[in-house]
Amino acid sequence: WPVVGQQIHSEFPYIDAEVRYAVKEYAATAVDIIARRLRLPFLNAQVAEESLPAIIDIMAEELKWSKAEKKV
């Protein structure tokens, strides 16, 4: 299947829209999204770690986080 949207990591088909949807479904932390919604740490821990900055950036955009909130 073609991937529509921005892939979070090249090794997995997860896209930015899935993170945005999870935020709209009240996922409040990056851990909630990466572990509970996408389950990346259970599939590949290195990919999960590499994907974390992109996930945080998407969450910050959706939740209107400041730079200080992104670092926490």
Domain-located, residue 16: yes
Domain-located, residue 1: no
Pinpoint the alpha helices (H) of the chain: 16-24, 30-31, 40-43, 45-63, 67-71
The tally of domains found in the chain comes to 1
Domain of 58, in residue numbers: 7-71
Global pTM value: 0.88
Which single residue is written with the structure tokens 């599939």?
Answer: 43
Domain-located, residue 66: yes
pLDDT tens per residue, range 7-49:
999 999 999 999 999 999 999 899 999 999 999 999 999 999 9
Among residues 47, 61, 42, 57, the alpha carbon closest in space to that of 13 is found at: 47
Residue 41 CA to residue 45 CA, distance in Å, equals 4
pLDDT tens per residue, range 46-71:
999 999 999 999 999 999 999 999 88
